[in-house]
Every structure is written in structure tokens, then in C-alpha cells.
Amino acid sequence: MFFKTYRPVKTLLTLFLVSSTLLLNGCATSPDPIDPKDKNRSVVFGYFDMEDAPSWGGIDWVSVKQYKPRTKKGYYGAAVKEGLFYHIGLPNGSFQVDSFGRNTRFYSNTRYTYNFGGKGRNQTARVIKRPGVYFMGSYKYKAIDSGSIFKPDNFKMIKSKKPKEKVLLKKLLKIMQSDSDLAIYTYQIHRIKQRLKKLK
């Protein structure tokens, strides 16, 4: 009975359509919109070099946690481009990177999550007292061998001097100016330009 009705092409097509719909749905789930007229939002950015990490292909997401003031939302998803992560709409408060990771790829169905926070302050911690541009730093992934097959290996994010804040900020400015969705955030762009002037 089963073999009579089983059509592999039709089944594959259905599977493809269902998975594509699910994937697109995932992409459509956008974060809270940021009002371009809101002057009280800050730009926060940093860089993760994941060349030596087990997850080939860099990272896709960075989660920034808000510690103070405590809110229901609690976490902000930063955008990522070639290791540069950024968020252009953080309110005043205390923030640090909580975790980051890589989604599945066509060559790998493994999701990678790297926990960075959870045990107090880490190096990305920033207290935003007034709207501005805040650099969380550049970091390079370093694996730590646990030395035992019974314990999982660990990792450290080592603070790195490169890429420098100025280089990353220039890149971010370019991204914002060339993307019509981001180019409307004129306050943020203005602040980035001001910060770049100071870095010269």
C-alpha cells in the first residue's frame, strides 16, 4: 500500500516547500523596531574573530544582555557582518555580550552557541549613561583543552588590538550608509561620524 502511493519527487518537493516556509518565517521574525527619531539610542559594536573556532563560517548572531535597568525584554540581538557585530538602538543601561553563535549551514546542520556571560562581568561590559557610540572591543577565539575526555573543552575570547575601533567604525558607517533600512538612522550616523573625528 505504502509503495503504491509513495512518490519520491512529490515528497521531496513538499519537504522543500515546508522547510523553505519555516526558514523564511524565521527570517521574517524581526526584532523590535527602533524609532529613527529617537535621540536616546546608542550604537554599540565590537568584533569577534572566530577563525580558530570549531564552527567554520564565522558567527551569525550576537545576543547582548541588559543588566540594568532590568526589563522584561532583557536581551538585544545584534546584527553581524564578517565578525563585526553591532546594534544601533540600545537605550541607556548596563549591557554586555551574553552569547553568540552560528546557525546551520548547507554543509552542516549543527547550531553553535558560545556562552560568554552568566558568571559576572565580562570584557564587553559597557554602562551607557548617555546616548553615544560604544565600542565593546575586538576579541579572538582561543580554544582551551579541558585535558580530559570526560570534561568538555572550553574557550576564551582574548582581547585583541586589531581590528581597531576606527577601522570597525568606518566599516559600520559604510554598512549604514549603503543600506536603505539603516540610512534613515541619521542620529546614529551623525554620532558615528563624530566619534570617527575624535579617533583621528
Partner 1 sequence: MKLNKYSSSIVLPVFLVLAVLVQGCSVGGKFLPELGSLSAVKKDEVIVVGRISLSPKLEKDEQELDPKGVWDVMGYGSKNKNRSMITFNSKPVADGYKYVINPELGKVFFFSVPRNLKYIVDGEILITFSRYSSDKVILPTGFKLNIKPSDKAVYIGDLHYKRDDFNSITQVQLKDNYKKARSLFRKKFGKKYKLRKALIKRIK
**Residues near partner 1, by CB under 8 A:** 67-68, 70, 94, 96, 99, 113, 115, 117-122, 125, 127
Rounded CA separation 129/126 (Å)? 9
Any idea what the Cα angle at residue 51 is, between residues 133 and 146, rounded to 5°? 105
- Bridge partners (DSSP) of residue 128 are 93
Is there a contact between 40 and 91 (Cβ–Cβ < 8 Å)? Answer: yes
CB of 101 to partner 1, least distance (A): 11
Give whichever of 127 and 158 is closer to partner 1, judged by the CB atom.
127
To partner 1, the closest distance from the beta carbon of 65 in angstroms equals 9
Other C-beta atoms closer than 10 Å to the C-beta of 41 total: 22
Closer Cβ to partner 1, 146 or 177, answer by number: 146
Report in angstroms how near the CB of residue 86 gets to partner 1 at its nearest: 21
Residue (33 or 69) nearer to partner 1, CB: 69
CB of residue 39 to partner 1, shortest distance in Å: 24
Q: In the complex with partner 1, which residue's Cβ is closer, 55 or 96?
A: 96
**Cβ-Cβ contacts under 8 Å for 132 (sequence gap 6 or more):** 42, 43, 191, 195
